[in-house]
Each structure stands twice: as structure tokens, then as C-alpha cells.
Homo-oligomer: A and B are copies of this chain.
Amino acid sequence: MNILISEVGPRDGLQNVSSIMPTTAKKAWIDAAFAAGIREIEVGSFVPAKLLPQLADTNEIVSYARQIEGLTVAALVPNSHGARNAINAGTHKITLPLSCSESHSIANLRRTHEQVLAEARSIANMIAELPAKSRPHFEGSLSTAFGCTIEGNVPEDKVIELAEALMEAGCDEVGLADTTGYANPTSVKELIKKIWGAVGQEALTGIHLHNTRGLGLANAYAALEVGLTTFDSSLGGLGGCPFAPGASGNLVTEDLVYMFEAMGISTGIDLESLFSVRRLVQESLPSEEFYGFAPEAGLPLGFSPTTPSLPNNQLAGSRS
């Protein structure tokens, strides 16, 4: 069984730290992550630079990352205007977040559910007009799917209704996001199964988890057991959602990869190289806190990963 780790640090991580990482450091991060075996990276967000100055260079980063053969370049878009820019830059995968809690949707995107769904339809139409080989993969992300810091409980029926609406609007896929860190292994399994029942198993393959209350890896394991195959995570656990107070802490890529590799599930990622990426990025963000246990403790004595280690020199230059 192969699973895909989608590294969201350059978008979700950098969006939520006060430091502004230089463009050259972002490129070095993407290069090193790819060399370590990461095959999908959410590199930025197509939002106005005045809203998120940390991501103002998204256009340049997408153009750069696209040159790395074998890497899927993903980006977030808040609306059809952002989607057009993402498509023009050559983004492979674009994600439109739809917050299942309407209060959170209004606070985060300043749009009601119906307004976000209208953007989804507009983006789907825009993509449909492109030549087939230029069409990006279009995901509608169900954020706050497990609860909201403004509304509290988010009914499963609401999440399912929105999953159906996103697919009807023309998304290729929906994603499930525990924006607030409210999920637990039981709710993860139940919600995945219910969404599959509504939109089909091929329409939901990935999950975005937070570690707010320490349950990130347990939830990832639960999602894996049900059969999800794509997992968002952030190097060092950087980031979270700035509009959900107290909901800091993305799933830590290093710990997630360690868990899967220890379980004998191939990620294609070399752990020691990934720890080198962590050190590289730490140098660029000296004032930010990096989370994660495995990189601090190191690998167990005699550890045999599923993914073979890279030769030492392979991390240096990987650009095609």
C-alpha cells in the first residue's frame, strides 16, 4: 500500500507564521523536500499580497516548482479570481476551501456557503473550457468538518450536503479538513464512510488533520485504516488556521512519515533526508517553533524503513 504525503508547509505553515520567508529559501525547501521523496507540495495561495504578504511570491514559486519533474504543485484559491491566476501560473492542483460552519466561512472567506459554491461552479466552468491537458485537478476542501470554534458542533448531515454540493458544482474531488483540531479516531472513520456513501469512494481520498489536542497521528491512523491514501501535513507542524483561535498545530510531516514507515507502509520519503529538510527550514525561520517528536528522538536503533535511505549526496542537487 502506497500513500501520498502532501506537504502543506510552504502554504499553510508560512501563512501562519509572522516571519516572511525569502523566495530563495522557499525554493530551497521545495527542492530539498522533493529530493527527500515528497511528491506533492502545496506551495502557496492565490490571495491578494496585502492579505498574506508571506505568500506574495506564490506565482513565482508555482512557476519554479512546476519545473521539477514528478512533483505535483498545489495551491489554495479563495475564489475564481485566484483560480484564474493559479491556472495561468500552471498549478497542477487547486483547492478551494469551503468551511462547513457558515460562521467560520464568513469569518475566513467572507462568503456564505452559497457564495462559495457559486465560486466553485465558476472555477469548474473555467477549467472545462481549457484544453484537456492543461486542466488542473480541482478539489473542494470541507474545512471545519469536525467542529468549529465559533459554532461548536457541525452536523455530519451538513458536511455531507456540502460534499454533494461541491461535487455537483464540478469539483473533481472533495477533501476533509479538521481545521480546528476537533476530530477523534471515531469521528474520522464515521465521517469518511458517510461522505463515501454520498459521493463515492473515489471522490474523497485525502484528509487534512491538525494536532491541536494531540490526536493528529491517531486520527491519521484511523483514516488510513478506513482507506484514505492522501495526508496533508506540515514540516515541523508549522501553521494551522489563523481564523480559528486556539487551533494551532498542523500534523507534523516528520512524525507522520515516521509512523507510516515504522508500520511498513511506504511513503517514498527518506526519513533522514526529511530531517535534513527540517534543519534547512529551521535555519530560514529561526524565530519559529518547530514541533515533532521523531526528529528530536531520532530513529530507533536498527530501524528498517520501508523506503530505502538515499545516498548522502542525493539531497544536494535534485533539480531536473
Residues in chain A within 8 A of chain B (CB atoms): 147-153, 180-182, 184-187, 211-215, 217-218, 220-222, 246-247, 249, 252, 255, 258-259, 262-264, 292-294, 297-298, 300-302
Contacts and interface: CB of A to CB of B under 8 A. Distances in A.
Contacts of A294: 213-214
Contact of A214 (B185, B255, B300, B301): B255
A213 B249 contact: no
A19 B262 CA distance: 35
Given A222-B221, A259-B218, A246 B292 contact: no
Contacts of A214: 217, 252, 255, 258-259, 292-294
A122 B287 CA distance: 57
B185 A221 contact: yes
Contacts of A218: 217-218, 220-221, 259
A301 B149 contact: yes
Contacts of A184: 259, 262-263
A189 B301 CA distance: 21
A152 B186 contact: no
Nearest to A237: B214
Given A147-B301, A151-B301, 8 more contacts: A147-B302, A184-B263, A214-B259, A214-B292, A215-B255, A215-B262, A221-B221, A249-B293
A234 to B, nearest CB: 14
29 contacts: A151-B301, A152-B300, A153-B302, A180-B300, A182-B300, A184-B263, A185-B221, A185-B259, A186-B262, A211-B293, A213-B255, A213-B258, A213-B294, A213-B297, A213-B300, A214-B258, A214-B259, A214-B293, A214-B294, A215-B217, A215-B258, A215-B293, A217-B218, A218-B218, A218-B259, A221-B221, A221-B222, A247-B297, A249-B293
Contacts of A298: 246
Given A217-B217, A222-B221, A255-B214, A186 B264 contact: yes
Contacts of A263: 184-187
A58 to B, nearest CB: 30
Contacts of A152: 300-302
Contacts of A148: 301
Contacts of A302: 147, 152-153
A298 B148 CA distance: 14
A180 B263 CA distance: 16
A215 B262 CA distance: 10
Contacts of A187: 262-263
